[in-house]
Amino acid sequence: MATPTEANHEIPKHETAPVARTSAVPLHPLDPLTEVELEEAVRILREGDHLGDMVRVVSLNLIEPARDVIEKPKLGDSFERKALAVLLDRGEHSAYEVALDLLSKAVASVKQLPPGIQPSIMLDEFIECELAVRRSLLFQAALEKRGVTDADLVMVEPWSAGSYGTELAEDKGLRRMRALCFVRSEPRDNGYARPVDSMVVVVDLYKMEVIRIEEYEIAPLPPEPGNWAREYITHVRKDLKPVDITQPEGPSFTVEGNLVEWQKWKFRVGFTSREGLVLHTIIYNDQGVERPVLYRASICEMVVPYADPREQYYRKNAFDIGEYGLGMLANSLALGCDCLGVIHYFDFPLVDSRGAVTPLKNAVCLHEEDYGILWKHTDWRTGQSEVRRSRRLSISFIATVGNYEYGYYWYFYQDGSIQCEVKLTGIMNTTALAPGETSRYGTQVASQLNAPYHQHIFAARLLPSIDGPNNSVVEVNTVSLPTSPENPHGNAFVAEETLLATEKQAQRRVNSATARFWRVINPNKKNRLGQPVGYRLVPGENCPPFMQPDATIMRRAGFTANHLWVTPYSPQERFAAGDYPNQHPTGDGLPFWTQKNRKVENTEIALWYVFAHNHVPRPEDWPVMPVAMLGFQLRPDGFFERNAAMDVPPPAAKTACCH
């Protein structure tokens, strides 16, 4: 459902941080493949005869080196550069993983994917699919039946077909999409205001042709427009005075290639076509000692299951990361005013399905923000008052997935905290209502227009390295004690700790009744109070999946069953729903790997935190939804000896806005 971002907005001028731009040559083994390396990789594929006319490049990314190469580098080591290409042969109906060694300029291995496995949908396929549908005589006839006369005004929105065990025999083995349709009243109109939801167009992506049109009860088109573009907004409020963010001495961060340093934090910026932004080797400099916190952090999967059980809608379950790739759908942030202040943008090159390499300018935004108070106390007896402003470093990217926008933000704070925040905005997907009709599975948001209930469920994959690679996870539940001789007034409560020693013990859900959180500790290192050093994973907004455990979508979205999973670190276990969730016949990922019930105590672990926004739409979410935010925090818990931000200086007395 990708729509290329339109470049017709006025481009605001940003101050740009006076720091080095992203390097053309890799400076570090974890740097994403550069433009030159991607071109070299495509050349190796062509010369090795892997890119015939019918073959498409699904993705091409760095194979990250082994963790110990990074964590225990040896002096004088030169570093390897390897790439993994996922290729789709549309003629042979087969897909391959081709590993490339860029130093020896050779193909290292070729692995054919098992029959039935479909790699992610490519950007070109959206465009080609829409064109194929418009060309189809079947489609034109179906439109006529619905009184739609101009096919050019129809938005054909291809959704991944998924795999539900309900597939027709004729569909078996085909790479498919199921297109939903919307009609604009003019070329720049918001098509989501008028769903043509009595038909689903099933497309064979190998042949790029319509297989059939599934038809349902015809509902009239909703009557109201839902426009959001500036030319349609005739009245804008007039009482907004400017806020200028100025940093006359420049930002407090430095950037060298993909290495960022800010305050006591240091980390590397990565980017993949699938996850988008990735953070590597997050380290805190504690009084001159570099202390690792996280080896790698990314949002590795998401799924958006919809609640409408009707035949045309139960397959609306986009895995926007595993089925589409957020890096491929990332916005170029020069187009809008997404970040304010002195900004450093990172560019990352992308490869299209034909192997053409293009830079994505301003893919990732880095800037500082004032964030209210950091700490404060007034001694009312002495009149002494101290307050410190909180400054945070924000690094983010935004992906447009068809109708929706997802902003992914990581924040670093001066007290040693890290926060991940996802911002949801964009346009809700809609269905039509007959006059007077309401839906049990959605909210009416305009005349004859329904926005179905759905959930946005995200999975973060975190590789902790709290003061070293071997970590454990402890669950903490606060429990009130019964009134007893020990607790005669009934006020007692305790924080109970439980070690999660195995994969099965570590399958957990949030619990607001016990204020549950999880502590990632290094059991081999104690702080001065004798406690193991650790970081606390603090859940934010969350809820369970509302699908039944035996729902057909749960075969592929099984990772949503728990909010916390802990697995032993494995470079092969990267994505919560497995490598290829698109049309996967049985499902893959966390529920399958954890069957082995491996030990996850005092070893290299992967922490998977799953968090969900339950979207019961409001009329106010239409026509464009104001941002909804959710995420989680990682807060030091025994990692430092005391508040790590005591050394933040007081605000300068003459700061213009400090009163």
**By the rule CB under 5 A, 389 interacts with Cu ion:** no
* Phi then psi dihedrals of residue 621, to 5 deg: -85, 0
Q: Between residues 392 and 615, which has the closer beta carbon with respect to Cu ion?
A: 615
CB of 494 to Cu ion, least distance (A): 39
User: 3-class SS at 45?
Assistant: helix
Q: Within 10 Å of residue 266's Cβ, how many Cβ atoms? A: 18
Q: Between residues 40 and 405, which has the closer beta carbon with respect to Cu ion?
A: 405
Q: Between residues 295 and 406, which has the closer beta carbon with respect to Cu ion?
A: 406
CA atoms of 333 and 329, how far apart (whole Å): 12
Choose one: 46-54, 442-450, 607-615, 636-644; the region binding Cu ion (CB under 5 A).
607-615
CB of 180 to Cu ion, least distance (A): 16
Q: Report the C-alpha dihedral over residues 647, 653, 658, 659, rounded to 10 degrees.
A: 120
Q: Between residues 33 and 399, which has the closer beta carbon with respect to Cu ion?
A: 399
Which residues between 72 and 91 bind Cu ion (CB under 5 A)? none
CB of 472 to Cu ion, least distance (A): 36
Q: Between residues 428 and 520, which has the closer beta carbon with respect to Cu ion?
A: 428
User: How would you class 440 by CB atoms within 10 Å of its CB: exposed for 0-12, middle for 13-18, buried for 19 or more?
Assistant: exposed
Q: Between residues 461 and 615, which has the closer beta carbon with respect to Cu ion?
A: 615
- Per DSSP, the chain holds a count of helices (H) and strands (E) of 5, 31
Is residue 574 within 8 Å of 461, Cβ to Cβ? yes
CB of 557 to Cu ion, least distance (A): 16
Which residues between 42 and 71 bind Cu ion (CB under 5 A)? none
CB of 552 to Cu ion, least distance (A): 21
Choose one: 46-54, 318-326, 481-489, 609-617; the region binding Cu ion (CB under 5 A).
609-617
CA atoms of 611 and 632, how far apart (whole Å): 8
Of 445, 162, 459, 431, which Cα lies nearest the Cα of 307? 431
CA atoms of 479 and 464, how far apart (whole Å): 28
Q: Report the C-alpha dihedral over residues 120, 122, 123, 126, rounded to 10 degrees.
A: -90
Choose one: 141-149, 252-260, 613-621, 639-647; the region binding Cu ion (CB under 5 A).
613-621
Choose one: 48-56, 472-480, 536-544, 611-619; the region binding Cu ion (CB under 5 A).
611-619
In Å, how far are 523, 566, 605 from 599, measured between CA atoms? 15, 9, 9
Q: Which residue is nearest to Cu ion (CB)?
A: 615
Of 324, 334, 268, which Cα lies nearest the Cα of 296? 268
Helix (H) / strand (E) containing 391? strand 385-401
Choose one: 6-14, 98-106, 592-600, 615-623; the region binding Cu ion (CB under 5 A).
615-623
Q: Between residues 477 and 614, which has the closer beta carbon with respect to Cu ion?
A: 614
CB of 469 to Cu ion, least distance (A): 38
Site size for Cu ion (CB under 5 A): 1
Active-site amino acid positions = 320, 404
Which residue blocks in 495-595 are alpha helix, DSSP H? 590-593
Pick from 175, 391, 615, 635: which binds Cu ion (CB under 5 A)?
A: 615
CB of 443 to Cu ion, least distance (A): 11
Q: Which residues bind Cu ion (CB under 5 A)?
A: 615
